[in-house]
Amino acid sequence: QVQLVESGGGLVQPGVSLRLSCVVSGRTSSMYAMAWFRQAPGKEREFVATVTRSGNSKSYADSVKGRFTISRDNAKNTVYLQMNSLKPEDTAVYYCAGSSEVVVTITQRVDYWGQGTQVTVSS
């Protein structure tokens, strides 16, 4: 089995930065693509960003492109989401996701989920 544990969420003002971390433990050899999804109140869970196993290929939702950066450190079994210029519409629970696929951009392709970390952007 694989466990994903997120950290780094919090309450911040618009315009500031925040970095989320996701530590992966267990059968990490089965993890290929890693991703971040988010879910705002009353909305469906949506794709934010994904990174391939090597870290060389990344993809982002249009809503975060240019502001968020996903990265991974395979030696530390950790995935990061650097979020800059945060907006109130970024408020959501952010979930780390792992998949045996090469890339993962939809929830149906996710094999493992973290428990989520709350990010609230408000003045």
Predicted pLDDT of residue 76:
93
Task: Tell whether the model's pLDDT for residue 38 goes beyond 80.
Answer: yes
Tens-digit pLDDT profile for residues 79-89: 999 999 999 99
Predicted pLDDT of residue 31:
78
pLDDT greater at residue 27 or residue 5: 5
Q: What is the mean pLDDT of residues 72-83?
A: 95
Radius of gyration of the chain (CA): 13
Max CA separation in the chain (angstroms) = 42
Tens-digit pLDDT profile for residues 6-30: 999 999 999 999 999 999 998 877 7
Going through 1-123 in order, the beta strands assigned E by DSSP cover 2-7, 10-12, 18-26, 34-39, 46-51, 58-60, 68-73, 78-83, 92-98, 112-113, 117-121
Predicted pLDDT of residue 119:
98
Percent of the chain clearing pLDDT 70 (strictly above): 99
Predicted pLDDT of residue 28:
76
